[in-house]
Structure 1
Amino acid sequence: MAARPLSGAAANWGSQERAMSNSALVNLATVGSDELQAMPMSVFTANLEHMSAEAVVRFRRMRKLSASQRSAVEKILAEKSGGRPGPSAAERDSAKQPSDKADKKKPKEAGFCMEILLRAIAWWEGMETDDVARAKGIKRRRKKKKAPAAKQIQSPAPAASAPSAAEEPPISLSRLEIIQKLWGEGHSLPGGADFALRIARSANFKRRGRFLDLSPGLGGGMRAVAAKYNVSILGIERDHELAAEAQRLSQRQDMLDQAPVHACGPAGFERADFNPAGGHSAIFMREAMFRFPDREWLLNEMRRGLEEDGALVLTDFVLAEGVGTDEPEAPALAAWRISEGHIGTPWTETEYREALAAQDYKVESFEDLTSVYLPHIQSAWRQLHDCLQKAKLLPETATRLMEEGAIWLARSQALETKQLRLVLIHASRGSAADDDEEQPDETDFIPESTDEADGQVSRV
């Protein structure tokens, strides 16, 4: 008899269990019911152990659990309530005197993205932030002590009735507000207007033709480019919430004619999105191509939409050569795939060049922007960390911060391994004799994925 295939949730948890490292926690309270039922007991129990007794009780009350999960919950609660014997003297001595191996592997210091994520997880689980950090083997950032100020005449102590900072109401931030606090008003990706302009300058804006942006997000970068070069750019966004807000922002800035943003259909990009054929001077896409299961289809439709010598301008995540074959894949790279929704394998530079050549593109440049991109991420999270240093967060805001933080933390850590890079690709459309030959039917579309010093330049 053939083996019964795993359900989608079970398959996801199976891959996550294999790829989980000590730097990732699963928030059991936000896991879907199907995923919770399919979750391996080893993952379920491991995450219960990181929760406080109060958080476990709250979780048990909120969720419908299987018999084995209820048993695991009761066992963990019994241990946390004092049923587990304390450490022996030898264990306490060994804890005070770490092994040579532990000495060599010091805990990694938390960056600003990780610091916010730690605080959000601690709030949700009812734990102290330091306890979460210790459980994850992470060294928290510490404020530098200020030099003692000169002696001053002390003013009278404030009245007991004066409100303190701790009494300020909790902060509530929507997903769109969190995104814009990170990347700037009207922006949904790192770097703001300056980085968007740097990417777009590869295109030829002297033609005054049609321009298409296939990942405008909130439209801030697209509007900056349209204003600088006095051109009109149409944005087609896959995230309907981002598209609606981008259109509203364009209207508010009186740029609705110059920088409109529409949402694509529920099935993803369709062939009609690239019309008129041969009518676009440039097509842009940022950090999105790696998510698509049929990238060849997308490159073909982009080429069909470009006029002769029109520019294709992409930023995308690519794998370093030999990852997974000549050298093992780093755990941070596996964690990144999970955070992005179990995406397929991104292309290497060689594979990108071969795919472009197969579609009769001419590659003008391939530029590594990783060293520029990472500081933009770190700077944005540093500012948000400073803003929320003493703030109280409402539950929904903490959850959104955890979700957004997990994605960008995973991206940063994967990029730091140097097995993943962010590249800027500038290619131009060739002049094949007949672009309409053997094209897909008009009703064909590309499905969305299952899920969102200068760099070195190599030129052909």
Structure 2
Amino acid sequence: MSEAPATGKPWKKRLLAWWEGYDLPEDKAHAAPEPAAAAPAAPAAPRPAMPGVNSRFGKPLWSATRIGVVEKIWGDGFTSPGGDDYIPELVKPLGLNPAMSVLDLAAGLGGAARKMAAQYGCWVTGLEPSPVLAKEGMERSVKAGMAKQATVTHYDPENFRHPKRFDCIFSKESFFCIKDRESLNDGIEMSLKPRGQLLFTDYVFEKDEPRSPAVKEWLAKEPLEPFPLTVAKTVNSLQQRNLDIRITEDVTDAHRVLILAAIQSLTEFLEKHSMDHETKLAVVEEVELWARRVAALQGGLRMYRFFALKLADGSEG
């Protein structure tokens, strides 16, 4: 289960072959009839980066090119592992229905918000730290006819407060990049109705920070500086805010399988399609990002799912 199904050469070698331009003859044969429209209209001219937040290394985090690449990897509307088929399994503990309101604190391009709204009839308010992704996500919700039921707007997670209260708060792999987690958890507690539910996945350490080279490289090279907590600190912080922890589940293996399978599928796609140099660079950077995360997950980093209920009156009830 730890490796994605492989066909032929390992995906890393196949990706390198694609990048260097010495694909196998059959791959080129597949690429030959590919219409010119598969590449951008003006492949020689780089597209301008969309305005947005920079990484800690001074480079724009998101561009039209990168958005196109991540949607090819993870599916329309998604920027991380787990698409339309995965969301219902992930949010199952919430028991969503049309009477419920959901606050998504890592909305991205709005894929999870629209899936929850469409499948369960609930009303989802999506908040996204990247203004670029928030704008693109809202445009996708409008096009899907879900402008009111699955909104996506920008927010600052380091200063999170919301005037409304929700039945559920949801987040998918985003809290580890937030420095002031105590303030965030204050905002989460205040934004939950009594008996409200909190469900999120996040990168964590099981105990002390692992000393493996892979984890050190991940900490040094993530585009946004990571501040992962231990499982115990995560749980303790929530418990201090009247939240009853019901699920603390290590989902690392499943997360790794999703990543490896997606990269395998991408590699197979790339061998049959041509693209401009800018897109090639974006593909390689994205694959390197996820390869570092996979290595860190093998070196001591973990992915956990947390589920908690806000107690109605300070007691178990």
Q: Give the TM interval when normalised to the shorter protein.
A: 0.7 to 0.9
2:231 to 323, 336, 349: 349
The aligned residue for residue 295 of structure 2 is: 413
Query: Are residue 116 (structure 1) and residue 2 (structure 2) matched?
Result: no
Structure 2: gaps spanning 5 or more residues: 1-7, 41-63
Pairing partner for 1:199 from 84, 90, 96: 90
Which of residues 282, 306, 317 in structure 2 aligns to 1:425? 306
Tell me the equivalent position of 1:330: 212
The answer as to 2:263 corresponding to 1:263 is: no
Q: 1:111 to 1:362 in 2, by over 3 A?
A: farther
Aligned equivalent of 1:294: 180
Q: Is the 8 A contact 2:171 2:201 kept in 1?
A: yes
Q: 1:15 maps to which residue?
A: none
TM-fit CA distance, 1:194: 2.0
Once the 2 structures are TM-superposed, how far is the Cα of residue 270 of structure 1 from its aligned partner? 3.8
Identical aligned residues as a percent: 26
Deviation string 1:409-446 (CA, Å, 9 cap, x unpaired) is 111111123x111111001113467xxxxxxxxxxxxx
| Structure 1 counterpart of 2:197 | 311
Aligned to 1:165: 32
Question: Could you say if the C-alpha distance between residues 239 and 353 of structure 1 is closer, same or farther in structure 2, counting changes exceeding 3 Å?
Answer: same
- Contact 2:98/2:122 (8 A) holds in 1: no
Partner of 2:56: none
Ranges in structure 1 where 5+ consecutive residues have no aligned partner = 1-108, 130-141, 146-163, 434-460
* Paired amino acid for 2:128: E
Retained in 1: the 8 A contact 2:158–2:183?
no
Residues 116 and 410 of structure 1: CA distance in aligned 2, closer, same or farther (over 3 Å): same
- Corresponding letter in the other structure for 1:406: E
d(CA) in 1 for partners of 2:208, 2:143? 48
For normalisation by structure 2, the TM-score amounts to 0.79
Scaled by the length of structure 1, the TM-score of the pair is 0.55
- CA deviation map 1:192-224 (0-9, x unaligned): 112111121222435823211011111112111
Show the counterpart of 2:270.
Answer: 388
**Contact 2:97–2:121 (Cα < 8 Å) also in 1:** no
1:183-198 alignment, distance < 5 Å: 183-198=74-89
Q: Secondary structure at the match of 1:205?
A: coil
- CA RMSD in angstroms comes to 2.9
Larger strand fraction of residues: 2
1:373 — aligned with what?
A: 255
Distance 2:198 2:173 in 1: 14
Amino acid at match of 2:76: E
Which of these two proteins has the greater Rg computed from alpha carbons?
A: 1
Change (3 A) 1:171 1:114: farther
Deviation at 1:118, TM superposition (A): 7.0
- Asked whether 1:174 is paired with 2:65, we answer yes
Within 5 Å, give how 1:54-73 maps onto structure 2.
Answer: none
- Secondary structure at the aligned position of 2:79 is classed as coil
Aligned residues: 279
- Taking a change above 3 Å as real, the CA distance of residues 114 and 222 of structure 1, as seen in their structure-2 partners, is farther
How far does residue 239 in structure 1 lie from its aligned partner after superposition?
1.5
Counterparts of residues 436-447 of structure 1 (less than 5 Å): none
Partner of residue 226, structure 1:
117
Answering whether residue 97 of structure 2 is matched by residue 209 of structure 1, we say no
Q: Structure 1 pair 297/117, CA: closer, same or farther in 2 (3 Å)? A: farther
What is the correspondence of 1:23-172 to structure 2 with a 5 Å cutoff?
Answer: 111-112=10-11, 115-116=14-15, 119-120=18-19, 122=20, 165=32, 171-172=39-40
Kept after mapping to 2: 8 A contact 1:113/1:408: no
Mapped partners of 1:422, 1:115: distance in 2:
28
* Distance in structure 2 (CA, Å) of the matches to 1:421 and 1:362: 22
